[in-house]
Structure 1
Amino acid sequence: MLKNKSWWSQTIQCHMQNQKSLYIFVSVLFMMGVIFGAIIVNTLDLNQKNGLINYLGYFFRQLKENSIAEPSIAFQHAVGDYLKTVGLIWILGLSVIGIPVILILIFIKGLVIGFTVGFLVNQLSWDGLWFACVSVAPQNLLAVPALIIVSVAGISFSLLLVRNRLIQHRGTIYPQFISFSFLATGMGLLLIIAAGIEAYASPWMMKEMIPQVSWITVPNGS
């Protein structure tokens, strides 16, 4: 077990060292998505904001009444979504035209997080920030690094394909393919843990925060 952990740790460290510039680029792109998502909140018109506030109020009501999806069902959906994303990035990494799509996926991930946190803070001020800390942050502390790692690995492998197949027309890529696949598998396992946090831990923490944001008008559900 310790040897396996050491091997995974060394593999990831070596990968991150060799792809430092790519990590900086992808991380900056993700942060740009976060910033852009937060800016979009300020461009919403009154009707759009009211619609989102009503939905947020409905969600709080469901959460307070324990009427949200069962944790096991939420876990299955979260695992499915995460593994589909990793699988898509893995497939895109095996093609020479997958790089732009991988970058778009990372940008959209940042955009969604930025918009969610930005809207909560915009409407609930400090209460919204604390609520975001328990609803958005816990699972994404694992999910975002895992997605960035597998994205960089996919971009790196795609660039390797370009060099070896389109430019040099020689060289084996099988070892790099195995390494990329193992890395994607490892990040998939990490995302399963993130899905567990999202399904089991986050709802409990969010419920504890509801009294601090209960001044929102909650619809009757009619």
Structure 2
Amino acid sequence: MQLLRHTLVHRMPLYVFLGVLFLVGVVFGALMVNALTLEQQQELGRYLNNFFVSVGQDGGAADPTLTKFWEIASLHLKWAALIWICGLSVIGLPGILVLNFLKGVLIGFSVGFVVGQYSWRGLLFALVSVAPHNAVVIPVLLVCSVAAMTFSIQMIKDRMLLTRRPSGFVKPFVSYAGLTAVMMLLLLGSASFETWVTPVMMRWVTPLLTSAGAA
């Protein structure tokens, strides 16, 4: 906890920078919806309609299993692992920025398309299906990203100063790996919510969407 508090307080400029970058990605993803052709929008609309009907009729996504949990968890853990690996190398620093921007694009596109298709009903669906678990996932990935950037920048400084003391490298590396491991545990908790709670919330909302599609 002390390490996390230190990271939050002393790395605030990096948090602000990455937060803005993520928001830019969200806006860019939402604008990408307007770039879709009419045929592409109709195809995605049909897919969503079929998905909502399946959820409303037979539970569809509301029949969670342990396999489903690990599918969701592995997706989040792989994203955090990519950020961690990028932080281990000097050339991986731009990759951290790209991953944060891309995460924003994916969320912005998903929410933007659903809202564009279903108006306030789509916004309601996004609030129950996208927002809850991402309220944990996004801050966790930001913490991982800031830790990765901090470690990578420190490696750059050490190389520029030609400081190659093994003892001076071990402690920052252990702290970096330990913080990432804690964040991954939080991602597992988010995956549990997404697996067993989110589908129930989706079943409450999908009748509104299927009726809108039928209309």
Please list every run of at least 4 consecutive aligned residues from structure 1 whose deviation after the TM superposition is greater than 6 angstroms. none
When normalised by structure 1's length, the TM-score is 0.90
One-letter amino acid matched to 2:82 = L
User: 2:150 matched to 1:156?
Assistant: yes
Residue 91 of structure 2 aligns to a residue whose secondary structure is coil
Give the aligned partner of residue 201 of structure 1: 197
User: For residues 164-203 of structure 1, what are the structure 2 equivalents within 5 Å?
Assistant: 164-165=158-159, 167-170=160-163, 171=165, 172-203=168-199
- Note the residue ranges of structure 1 that are not aligned, 5 or more in a row: 1-7
Q: Give the whole-Å Cα distance in 1 for the aligned partners of 2:101 and 2:200.
A: 29
Q: Give the whole-Å Cα distance in 2 for the aligned partners of 1:42 and 1:31.
A: 18
RMSD after superposition: 1.3
Give the aligned partner of residue 212 of structure 1: 208
How far apart are 1:180 and its partner, in Å? 0.7
Farther-moved stretch of structure 1 (32-41 vs 77-86): 77-86
When normalised by structure 2's length, the TM-score is 0.93
How far apart are 1:141 and its partner, in Å? 0.4
How far apart are 1:88 and its partner, in Å? 1.6
Q: Give the whole-Å Cα distance in 1 for the aligned partners of 2:68 and 2:41.
A: 26
Residue 25 of structure 2 aligns to a residue whose secondary structure is helix
How far apart are 1:73 and its partner, in Å? 2.1
Residue 89 of structure 2 aligns to a residue whose secondary structure is coil
How far apart are 1:92 and its partner, in Å? 1.1
Residue 36 of structure 1 aligns to a residue whose secondary structure is helix
1:142-198 alpha-carbon deviations (Å, 9 max, x no partner): 000000100110011001000002x10115222111111111001100100111111
User: 2:102 matched to 1:108?
Assistant: yes
One-letter amino acid matched to 1:127 = R
How far apart are 1:33 and its partner, in Å? 0.5
How far apart are 1:216 and its partner, in Å? 4.5
Q: Give the whole-Å Cα distance in 2 for the aligned partners of 1:131 and 1:70.
A: 19
Identity %: 40
Residue 98 of structure 1 aligns to a residue whose secondary structure is helix
Q: Give the whole-Å Cα distance in 1 for the aligned partners of 2:153 and 2:18.
A: 15
Q: Give the whole-Å Cα distance in 1 for the aligned partners of 2:67 and 2:170.
A: 38
Q: Give the whole-Å Cα distance in 2 for the aligned partners of 1:49 and 1:215.
A: 19
Give the aligned partner of residue 119 of structure 1: 113
User: 2:4 matched to 1:12?
Assistant: yes
One-letter amino acid matched to 1:13 = R
1:61 is matched with which residue: 42, 50, 53? 53
Q: Give the whole-Å Cα distance in 1 for the aligned partners of 2:72 and 2:150.
A: 27
How far apart are 1:87 and its partner, in Å? 1.5
Aligned residues: 209
One-letter amino acid matched to 1:32 = V
Give the aligned partner of residue 33 of structure 1: 25
Q: Give the whole-Å Cα distance in 1 for the aligned partners of 2:136 and 2:182.
A: 12
Farther-moved stretch of structure 1 (143-152 vs 13-22): 13-22
